[in-house]
């Protein structure tokens, strides 16, 4: 493998091109293409996902911009063992069944073709009361989240924003130091930098680099 330095604009262009090359719903008429952008919050997977929306729309593809944190499990469940449990952060925060049912499977092959943009407010854990949306033909679901690869989410393409453990430790505040154990387990068990379809090194956030097989 080699590492290819790219600008942020080139990175967006490459990801958009990768999505456009992918047949919607694995070639099933009416199915959506579902992209997951994964990365530690400090790598801003949300910002990269946001930047993909306009060029995809300009290419004629409708976009559903969805956030994993809007499908976290209720606080009573995800915080059952306290607010600083790294194992729960990795294993119990994401409502995988709900996200698949309401979004990813819903717009995929054989799904009903309507999705829920959000389920719960991540801050209050209350229902967002979002209305269902009909999926347009050729829809692209752009989903972002952390610790979200290898969880069983029904996606077609994955991108991972990778950083070294030392970089992660340096970027993590003392209040969030408890999360480092979750990310260490994630790297060891899921190996996101080896399993994602697109891997981007972002140890220097100003100079991303694509990992090229």
Q: Tell the residue number behind the tokens 């991540």, with chain if given.
A: 122
Interatomic CA distance for residues 55 and 16, integer angstroms = 7
Question: Under a CB-based contact definition with an 8 Å cutoff, are residues 165 and 184 in contact?
Answer: yes
Q: 1-10, 140-149, 178-187: which has the minimum mean pLDDT?
A: 1-10
Token duo for residue 107:
């717009």
The whole-number pLDDT of residue 24 equals: 64
Interatomic CA distance for residues 64 and 50, integer angstroms = 11
Interatomic CA distance for residues 6 and 208, integer angstroms = 6
Local confidence band at 176 (pLDDT 50, 70, 90 cut-offs): very high
Instruction: Give the single-character DSSP code of 92.
Output: T
The whole-number pLDDT of residue 25 equals: 54
The whole-number pLDDT of residue 30 equals: 54
Q: What is the pLDDT of residues 103-135, one digit of tens each?
A: 999 999 889 999 999 999 999 999 999 999 999
Q: What is the pLDDT of residues 30-83, one digit of tens each?
A: 579 999 999 999 999 999 999 999 999 999 999 999 999 999 999 999 998 888
Q: How much is the pTM?
A: 0.94
Alpha carbon 105 to its chain centroid, in Å, reads 15
Report the SS3 class of residue 180.
helix
């Amino acid at each position: 493998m080699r590492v290819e330095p790219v600008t942020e604009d080139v990175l967006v262009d490459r990801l958009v091109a990768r999505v456009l090359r992918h047949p919607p719903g694995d070639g099933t008429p009416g199915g959506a293409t579902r992209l997951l952008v994964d990365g530690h919050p400090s790598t801003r997977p949300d910002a990269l996902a946001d930047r993909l929306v306009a060029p995809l729309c300009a290419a004629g593809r409708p976009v559903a911009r969805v956030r994993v944190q809007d499908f976290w499990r209720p606080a009573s469940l995800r915080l059952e063992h306290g607010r600083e449990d790294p194992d729960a952060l990795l294993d119990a925060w994401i409502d995988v069944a709900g996200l698949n049912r309401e979004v990813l499977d819903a717009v995929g092959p054989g799904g009903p073709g309507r999705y829920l943009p959000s389920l719960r407010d991540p801050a209050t854990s209350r229902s967002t009361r979002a209305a269902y949306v009909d999926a347009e033909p050729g829809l692209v679901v752009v989903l972002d989240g952390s610790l979200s690869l290898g969880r069983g989410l029904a996606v077609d393409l994955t991108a991972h924003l990778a950083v070294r453990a030392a970089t992660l430790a340096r970027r993590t505040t003392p209040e969030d130091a408890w999360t480092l154990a979750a990310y260490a387990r994630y790297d060891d068990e899921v190996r996101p930098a080896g399993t994602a379809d697109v891997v981007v090194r972002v140890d220097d956030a100003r100079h991303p680099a694509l990992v090229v097989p």
